[in-house]
Structure 1
Amino acid sequence: MRSPAIWLVTLVAAVIVVLGVRAFLDPLAASASFGLPMHTETETTFVRIYGARNALLGALALAFAFGGMLRPLTLLFTFATALPLLDAIVITSRIGVGHELIRHAAILLVLVAASAALWRSSAARRQPD
């Protein structure tokens, strides 16, 4: 049976894929939930890039999880914790500090929790019985 950390990360990765695909297919709605609402399709190029990035990272995480590749999965989630911080910097540079940052803070907390769970799971695997 898979560890609870793997179940958590698989769920998070699946959500990341769904959100990424949504941003790619419906960039106007996704831009509003990102925190920088756009009003025309021509404004949303960065949203499609954001969506493609997230869908790819989520799919990669799922491949690592289903392939039992704990170390690459752990590193991917650990490095991915920088993404909501970078997204927040983009938002604050455009509109300042506001309620739009709550979503990115929540994503950061989820990624930190998932990374910590993976690191604990990885350490437990290395411990002799």
Structure 2
Amino acid sequence: MTDETIRAAGCVLWRRSPVDSALEICLVHRPKYDDWSHPKGKLKRGEDFLSGALREVEEETGYGADPGAVLPTVHYLVDGRAKEVRYWAAEAADGHFTPNDEVDRVLWLSPAAARHRLTQSRDCDLVDDLLNALRHA
């Protein structure tokens, strides 16, 4: 990672459905990009990756998060610059979503529905990584 690399962090946020206890994954819709993704964002100066991930989850979803397993780091280019996003599996804690300028909708979906709704294929892989982490927890 060079000094030019964009550093970001996020979580694959999950919960047990209040209806039937099935696993649900939280996705966020960002109107600026018109995409569906896992909650994530750039780190603030001096912020460590896990703190940034938990802050971004709360800012984007309104929910606290209890971090679990470290998930694979994702690397890709944004406007020619390298971006590194570190992820954690995180169980949703108390909270309530309120739409804002950055995120206008959240959905709690089954893993299969989440894979189908996610915009980027790299985000789909994180669903499988979450399922593997939960299976081995």
**RCO greater where, 1 or 2, for CA within 8 Å and sep 6 or more?**
2
TM-score by length of structure 2 reads 0.26
TM-score by length of structure 1 reads 0.27
Q: Whose strand fraction is larger, Structure 1's or Structure 2's?
A: 2
Q: Whose helix fraction is larger, Structure 1's or Structure 2's?
A: 1
